[in-house]
Structure 1
């Protein structure tokens, strides 16, 4: 009976590895809700994912690495949902769509997002990841503002500077509102959207 080809064997191993990594990250997100970052351990991650501690170390060297990967996965989802904003034709619709996508992700993964913000000052990898993500959104917001007629540039009244302020305003507003309720998060989103529209000159 012929054996499996090396290529097929490698593909099967990769698929198994992807499933295990996803299980570790899903467990990590659940443990953040149950115990919080400080209390959870590598042993908890391994047990929740149904593997040994030794097997877990094949994927992540520490709980910090696992949380960093979880943040990376979450912000990738956030960017995938929002990256069309800069290409949308009509600024008002682009703003509404971007805000709603962001609300949806905060509703689904708000704890991970808050953990990323909390750790961004003490875990360099997470801080760099969060900063890069913010830069992507600042670029997208800048494009919307410019398309709405705001002058390009970095002066306080110009698009790039306004986009940076809007980005960090949205982050901080969502951080606090997501700890209250979905309704409060939606209200915060509506306020941020209104401020973005005013900044773009789309409301009086």
Structure 2
């Protein structure tokens, strides 16, 4: 029985090169001015070869969003599995990781938020990722003592509302200086902690 190679296939490397080129162009020129020819040139392949991997510029964007969302989903899975970390620390960790993703891939995430309504694949990946993260944070809220009911005051509804609020908070802060993202994290953390910390009598 042969061993499976750990080395990425040439096609996989080309696809990643296309996504890397597109992410760089997205930051420099924006989605509207970015062309398929620019993406192919940035990856060092022909325009015709690009169409072997992606059907269009919007398809490239969907691939970029999917790659970025995969990293966020991995973090959500770790948050759900980690039952030893106190809820307040779990919230802090989740927010700092999310801030880092916006800092490193903000142009992709802004483009995802802005194109979710017109690009079905982007919209689906964006919404599904927020829902996956919301479910992970629901478990954190339950560990903090919130009721795990289906109603509007249950942990699920609260986690969903908080996650969408977090998404919008970082979206508005992204594009400004780093201090703005850090400030957004501090404000969002305050809101999350007020939800999970019972009021004093």
Change (3 A) 1:202 1:183: farther
Higher relative contact order (CA 8 A, sep 6+): 2
Please list the CA deviations of residues 99-135 of structure 1 after superposition, one character each: whole Å capped at 9, or x if unmatched.
Answer: 1111111110011000000000111111111111011
Whether the 8 Å contact between 2:76 and 2:132 is mirrored in structure 1 is no
Larger radius of gyration: 1
Please give the residue correspondences for 1:113-152 in structure 2 after superposition, counting only pairs within 5 Å.
113-152=109-148
Change (3 A) 1:183 1:38: same
* TM-score normalised over the length of structure 2: 0.91
Change (3 A) 1:158 1:29: same
1:101 is matched with 97
Q: Structure 2: any 5+ residue segments left out of the alignment? A: none
Is 1:172 equivalent to 2:168 in the alignment? Answer: yes
Is 1:22 equivalent to 2:16 in the alignment? Answer: yes
Is 1:201 equivalent to 2:191 in the alignment? Answer: no
Aligned residues: 197
Across the aligned residues of Structure 1 and Structure 2, the Cα RMSD in angstroms comes to: 2.0
* TM-score normalised over the length of structure 1: 0.90
- State which of 32, 43, 51 in structure 2 corresponds to 1:57: 51
Deviation at 1:81, TM superposition (A): 3.1
The structure carrying a bigger helix percent of its residues is 1
Is 1:48 equivalent to 2:42 in the alignment? Answer: yes
1:160 is matched with 156
Q: Structure 1: any 5+ residue segments left out of the alignment? A: 1-6
